[in-house]
Structure 1
Amino acid sequence: MRWLLLVMVVLLGLLQFRLWVGDGSLAELHELRGLIAETEQELRHLQARNYALAAEVEDLKTGLDAIEERARSELGMIQSGEVFLQVVEKPVEGKSP
């Protein structure tokens, strides 16, 4: 009977070790849940960016206003009859660029 009790205590100790420290332990489970949460957050961010890019592509395909806005901001386009003004500010003394 004493041997059976000793075997049961050792077996319980091994199972407890595996539960707390070994492969598939609670610590590893907690770490994996954290990784899943980070990955899901990054996925939501990327999905929002994809939706914004898809809306911009659709706008560029269907409307000329978006194309004109992009040409004005990125390429400096001006239409005939418009006047282009460039404001050059004096550098402030004491500040380095």
Structure 2
Amino acid sequence: MRVITGILLIFLVMLQYRLWFGKNSVPDYLALEDEIARQQADNNKLIRRNKLLYADTDDLKSGVEAIEERARNELGMIKENETFVRIITQKPDKG
């Protein structure tokens, strides 16, 4: 009877070792859960960015107003017979 108990105890120790320190152990599982959470957060950021880009391309495809706005903001273009005015404010002197 002691031999069987000893063998079962050895098996229990071996299984516990694999559970805590072996391949695919509990720490590996927890590390993978953290990695999955980080990847899901990154994916959500990319999904939001893609939605903004899709909305921007839809605006560019559908109307002239979006193209005109981009030309004004990014390229500094103005329409014919339009006057460009830039207002520059002075920063107060620190003294």
Would you call these one fold, judging by a TM-score over 0.5?
yes
Q: Distance in 2 between matches of 1:85 and 1:41?
A: 44
Query: What SS is found at the alignment partner of 1:80?
Result: coil
What's the counterpart of residue 3 of structure 1?
3
2:62 aligns with 62
Please state if 1:80 is matched with 2:80: yes
Q: What's the C-alpha RMSD, in Å, of the aligned pairs?
A: 1.7
Amino acid of the structure 2 residue aligned with 1:17: Y
Provide, for residues 17-51 of structure 1, a one-character-per-residue CA deviation record: whole Å limited to 9, x for no partner. Answer: 11111111111111101111111111111111111
Structure 1 residue 6, shift from structure 2 partner: 1.1
SS, match of residue 56 in structure 1:
helix
Cα deviation for residue 59 of structure 1 reads: 0.7
Query: 1:38-73 CA distances to partner (integer Å, 9 max, x unpaired)?
Result: 111111111111111111111101110000000000
- Distance between the aligned counterparts of 1:15 and 1:75, measured in 2? 67
- CA distance in 2 between partners of 1:92 and 1:3 (Å): 90
TM-score under structure 2 length normalisation: 0.87
- Which 5+ residue runs of structure 1 have no aligned equivalent? none
Moved over 6 A (4+): 91-94
Gaps of 5+ in 2: none
Of 21-30 and 59-68, deviating more is 21-30
Aligned to 2:28: 28
Letter in 1 for 2:12: L
